[in-house]
Amino acid sequence: MKEIYFAGGCFWGVEHFFKGVDGVAEAAPGYANGSLDSPSYEQVYTDATGHAETVRVRYNPDRVSLQTLVRLFFTIIDPLSLNRQGHDEGTRYRTGIYYTGEEDLPVLKECFEELSGKLGCAPVTELLPLKSFWPAEERHQDYLGKNPGGYCHIPLKTFRYLRLYQDLALLLGDEPDPIARMANAAALIHSRMHFLWTGFYLVRDDELVLGPFQGPEACFRIAYGKGVCGTAWAQRRTIVVPDVEQFPGHIACSSDSRSEIVVPLWRRAEDSHAPSGLRMTDGESPVGVTEGECPVGVLDIDSAEKGTFDSTDATWLELIAAVI
Ligand code: SME
């Protein structure tokens, strides 16, 4: 068993999140890296003791890697927000990763570099050795388990995406055929999240061609740079469209579609000579994007309601696209 400490704002939500991660044996809220021994919640609440609300995560490294835990942690924080997460403000709500063994540092640094690359700047999240950790009072332990519907600063859909992400990795396993992987991925995402349309368009020469999907029939081909899909391909980035009527050039395959998200699919760098090997196992880089590389397709999702998708969906669907 190994351990790592995550400060990600109010510890109720962070604890609840990590309790749902496969391979995590224990997630316990407490107060880290402050100046006072055995502080009370009220003392930490003054912000004068220097503690951060932190969750101790004990995990089985044979079942979940430190890299995966950190990538999952990055989905539940705003790494550019200093001393504030959600509605909670104060140095006790700063974000940080605190380690107990120097051997974890190379992986942690790599994860931070990956995050900086995505953000285009350095996160404000701390990366420090753990100096002290005091478990929180009994009433804070498993707070959201004991009080379902209680305050949680993490968007609720995060918990559904976590389940989906983990189940998808299990379902796809090491099936080597990318079409088969996409077919089952579309089925699982669609049935779990109840979207209007979930599917793939694949790059074929200079256009996108319809791949495996779930939902109403759709257009066969989309030109480079056209529609939301062709734009995501050309711009090599995820595009969130809160209202399809406001997106110039949107292609309406279904008149029921009101909002949409399109996520590029990347061939893993080490698979560049084996296109059928799009896959990720735990502990590997999920993105594997070679600089200058073009997407091999897109994951396209439509909703029958406006404003369904935001940065939470973008973050999770990018992780999911990497698994696929
Ligand atoms: N709306 C997409 C076309 C594909 S359908 O949504 C399935 C677009 O504008 O690219």
pLDDT in tens, 11-62: 999 999 999 999 999 999 999 999 999 999 999 999 999 999 999 999 999 9
Q: Is 230 helix (H, G, I), strand (E, B) or coil?
A: helix
CA of 36 relative to ligand 1 center, distance in Å: 56
Q: Averaged over 193-220, what is the pLDDT?
A: 97
Residue 80 has pLDDT above 90, yes or no: yes
250 lines ligand 1 (CB under 6 A): yes
pLDDT tier for residue 73 given thresholds of 50, 70 and 90: very high
**Per-residue confidence (pLDDT) for residue 202, from 0 to 100:** 98
pLDDT tier for residue 269 given thresholds of 50, 70 and 90: low
| Integer Cα distance of 196 and 302 in angstroms | 5
| Integer Cα distance of 72 and 94 in angstroms | 17
Q: Whose CA is nearest to atom 6 of ligand 1?
A: 253
**Closest atom, ligand 1, to C-alpha of 302:** 6
Residue 291 has pLDDT above 80, yes or no: no
CB 158 within 8 A of CB 75: yes
Q: Match 């600089």 to its residue by tokens.
A: 291
**Closest atom, ligand 1, to C-alpha of 231:** 10
**Per-residue confidence (pLDDT) for residue 287, from 0 to 100:** 41
Pocket perturbation via mutation, ligand 1, pick of 189, 222, 254 by most ligand atoms within 8 A of CB? 222
**Closest atom, ligand 1, to C-alpha of 226:** 10
Reading the block at residue 273, the tokens are 């000579």
CA of 152 relative to ligand 1 center, distance in Å: 34
| Integer Cα distance of 79 and 204 in angstroms | 37
pLDDT tier for residue 285 given thresholds of 50, 70 and 90: very low
215 lines ligand 1 (CB under 6 A): no
> Any idea which residues carry the catalytic annotation?
10
Q: Is 30 helix (H, G, I), strand (E, B) or coil?
A: strand
Q: Kindly report the average pLDDT of the chain as a whole number.
A: 92
Q: Which long-range contacts (CB under 8 A, 24 or more apart) does 280-289 make?
A: 280/169, 280/322, 280/323, 281/174, 282/63, 282/64, 282/65, 282/68, 282/169, 283/65, 283/67, 283/68, 285/114, 286/71, 286/319, 286/322, 286/323, 287/114, 287/318, 287/322, 288/322
115-167 pLDDT, tens digit per residue, is 999 899 999 999 999 999 999 999 999 999 999 999 999 999 999 999 999 99
Kindly report whether the global pTM for this prediction surpasses the value 0.85.
Answer: yes
211 lines ligand 1 (CB under 6 A): no
302 lines ligand 1 (CB under 6 A): yes
CB 161 within 8 A of CB 316: yes
CA of 171 relative to ligand 1 center, distance in Å: 27
Q: How many CA atoms lie within 13 A of 214 on its CB side?
A: 18
